[in-house]
Structure 1
Amino acid sequence: MNRLADSEPQARGPLTGLKIIELAGLGPGPWCGMLLSDLGAEVLRVDRPSAVGSLRTDLGASNGRQPAFVNDRGRRSVAIDLKHPDGVETLLRLVEQADALLEGNRPGVTERLGVGPATCLARNPRLVYGRATGWGQDGPLSQTAGHDLNYLSLSGLLAAMGPAGGAPAIPLNLLGDYAGGGLMLAMGLLSALWEARGSGRGQVVDAAMVDGIALLGGVFYGQRQAGMHGLERGTNMLDGGAPFYSVYETADGGWMAVGAIESPFFAELLEVLGMQPELVDSQWDRAHWPRMRSLLAAVFATKSRAEWEAAFAGREACTTPVLDLDEAMKHEHATARRSFLPVDGVLQPAPAPRFSRTPGAVQGPSVPAGTNTTRALADWGFDPSEIEALRAAGAVR
């Protein structure tokens, strides 16, 4: 059952009681809204009237199945025309009741629409106004188009990922959109909301993906300046250069991931593989790494992935099979922890992190734009005649 289509959000999780407005967008904004909703906040998504009834197709909707767009789950949608003066006023009335607003437009867009930070804070001085962008609110690139890969490329970290002698490896859009963008935005919003409890004053949170990515990679910038990390990718300890922190192909074309950094784990790895224990003594001698890698590769190539998985089961060797997406959702550990939950027939990642007393929960699947305009506006204080007048004027749909 699509709970959000005809009822109000459930009150669950440690963020229960927070009211957040999300101006619909792509990437980090929807992911942040999902995270906050999973943890109990009431997140109201504001969509464009032109999107009413449509399914999300960007980066996620599959075969017309709305629940497949995981990032939009758990919140209701209202359709408000922010190019209509009554639509702007409608949003500002919602802002008066909200704890926070999040948006992911280019700098200056919401100001031109009449719902920028200054206007919103004038209506609600306690409001936290969160802004997620790639380049940030200022700087020479702030108005330049870009995506996750572009922000990652200028961070220096994209150049650091990939095999030696090969092209940089693209880590999906995990580092920019979600870790460097959405997660940093959520952290910023919650930090500012905590501060507002004492000061009574809101503020603007500038969550730029270039900043978030840099913070994620802090240890590597530090190691580089200390002479501990080389610029040639695939030659360092954590980029696949170390033979004890790498992946190896198996006889059936599968792969095993080896993360045996500490000496006891490396010794266990050698024992399971039936290799000479003396190799432990040269584990950290880079001159031995090419030969060590060849030896490990040759042994892994003698058995199937399933055979190696069975051999390493219960052993302290930090060696695991490389699962594909389908296998990962069905793995015994994921199943035991209920790491994936069915939402309208689609398996989705469960809310994280977990709480002992106030657990989060998926408040419902994603819904088409404008699904909840009437009910949500009524719940936020608009009377039926106001809603009908707004709809007749074309300010909402």
Structure 2
Amino acid sequence: MNDVLEGIRVVELAAWTFVPAAGAVLADWGADVIKIEHPETGDPQRGLISSGMVTGASGVNHFIEQPNRGKRSVGIDTRTPEGLELLMKLIERADVFVTNLLPDSRARMGVDVDAIRARNPKIVYARGHGYGTKGNLAEQGGFDLAAYWSRGGIGESYSAGNGAYPPVQRPAFGDSYGGLAIAAGIAAALVKRQRTGEGSVVDVSLLGAAIWQLGPDIVGAGVLGTDIPKFDVSSMPNPAANIYKTQDGRFISFVLLQADRFWSEFCTRLGRTDLIDDDRYANAAVRFQNRTECIAELRSVFESEPLKHWEAAFDGFDGVWDVLRTPLEVHSDPQVIANGYLPRTVDTNDNEFALAASPVQFDETPLEVRRAPTHGEHTDSVLAELGLNEDEIVDLKIKSVVL
């Protein structure tokens, strides 16, 4: 049972992945997360299943399921006076309000900090931004490809340079990480509120998340006054901390940071004991001087045998190494299965599938996950909790205030 936040109610007025991912983490931890969606359009990501971005015959919209699992969906048109009042009644009973609306939208809708605090002075108010709360871009939206991957320096850090195109960010790469940061900030703010009785305003930007993620490069660049050098895999400073291709086109990474400690056994398992005392490679200093030649030698060795051979050869090796797995292979990884990192759930159409668990476990217990709600699935039950009777709910539906 995921119960560390049991009894905490979260009202989420957000769309796409960044901020909803924070709600998913809080739901994983046991909070009651109420997702507010427009009665007609809902979260725009619901439309991806018919846009070509979500493919396959299963009918599972993983872009909705992953960041919205375990929530309750309520369809409310908060632009109407009646809809806004319903939202405020929910906020009065909530511990957390989380949103990714831009500052002008929050003010226009009447859900900025002052308006929310007027109805619930102790609420934790959490905001997800593209570029932060200050500066010329404070009111500009930002998806993670722009604010995180591009402006935060991550995409360029992975580029080869020399005018080559950088790699494209994987979907929601910064959003998922940024959402975890928001959830952590909310958890800390809840601790402060319990201790002092005061609610906090929690702010996380995709730009700030990228700077933290790329901290060693960015801090190092500031200290050195120049960007951290990039090394091609053919000339890495430490040949024993590198990636090597096998005969069958797979890749193995080795992270032997204390290379001299492992060099003898490494070469033995390669079947190349002649390299142990080779004057060109005998210690870290000379391997660095002859790194290009050393890497070429090691590449030739690894490319002579398939992956299975090398997995057997390095079985039990004390040095750190692993195989580059595909996302599909992760599903059958025994370590992933043993730790419950991909818990399974079933949607309303009886499709069974796995979701990526948020990475924190409590009391050595794998997280349990529930499917994402359908659009407006819990409108009636949540409004009933507010004290509305059936006739009142029907009347609001007739007026298109709720779904």
Aligned to 1:94: 90
Q: Aligned match of 2:242 in 232, 235, 246? A: 246
Task: Report 1:110-189 matches (<5 A).
Answer: 110-151=106-147, 152-163=149-160, 166-173=164-171, 176-179=174-177, 181-189=178-186
Kindly indicate whether residue 46 of structure 2 is the aligned counterpart of residue 48 of structure 1: no
Q: Aligned match of 1:294 in 293, 296, 299? A: 296
Distance in 1, matches of 2:315 and 2:387, equals: 57
1:383/1:116 Cα in 2 relative to 1: closer, same or farther (>3 Å)? farther
Distance in 1, matches of 2:208 and 2:14, equals: 22
Aligned to 2:349: none
Q: Aligned match of 1:201 in 198, 201, 218? A: 198
Q: Is the 8 A contact 2:10 2:97 kept in 1?
A: yes
Aligned to 2:307: 305
Distance in 2, matches of 1:327 and 1:358, equals: 23
Deviation, 1:210, is 0.8
Aligned to 1:3: none
Distance in 1, matches of 2:223 and 2:306, equals: 41
Which residues of structure 2 form unaligned runs of 5+?
A: 347-351
What TM-score results when the alignment is normalised by the length of structure 2?
A: 0.86
Q: Which amino acid aligns with 1:297?
A: R
Kindly indicate whether residue 353 of structure 2 is the aligned counterpart of residue 346 of structure 1: yes
Kindly indicate whether residue 37 of structure 2 is the aligned counterpart of residue 37 of structure 1: no
- The total of aligned residue pairs comes to 384
Deviation, 1:307, is 1.7
Q: Is the 8 A contact 1:66 1:367 kept in 2?
A: no
CA-based RMSD: 2.8
Distance in 1, matches of 2:330 and 2:166, equals: 25
Deviation, 1:326, is 1.2
Q: Which amino acid aligns with 2:38?
A: R
Q: Aligned match of 1:390 in 385, 388, 396? A: 396
Aligned to 1:212: 209
Deviation, 1:164, is 6.5
Aligned to 1:377: 383
Deviates more, 1:183-192 or 1:216-225: 216-225
Deviation, 1:217, is 2.2
Which residues of structure 1 form unaligned runs of 5+?
A: 1-10
Distance in 2, matches of 1:322 and 1:46, equals: 39
Q: Which amino acid aligns with 2:34?
A: L
Distance in 2, matches of 1:266 and 1:226, equals: 32
1:175/1:325 Cα in 2 relative to 1: closer, same or farther (>3 Å)? closer
- Aligned to 2:283, what secondary structure does the other structure show? helix
- Aligned to 1:367, what secondary structure does the other structure show? coil
Deviation, 1:203, is 2.7
Distance in 2, matches of 1:53 and 1:26, equals: 7
Looking at both structures, which has the greater relative contact order when contacts are Cα pairs under 8 Å and sequence separation is at least 6? 1
Deviation, 1:95, is 0.3
Q: Which amino acid aligns with 1:177?
A: D
Q: Which amino acid aligns with 2:266?
A: L
Deviation, 1:277, is 2.0
Deviates more, 1:139-148 or 1:209-218: 139-148
Aligned to 1:277: 276
1:372/1:223 Cα in 2 relative to 1: closer, same or farther (>3 Å)? same
Deviation, 1:267, is 4.2
Q: Which amino acid aligns with 1:311?
A: A
Q: Deviations over 1:60-118 (max 9, x none)?
A: 75443146631111111000001111000000000000000111122221221112221
Identity level (%): 26
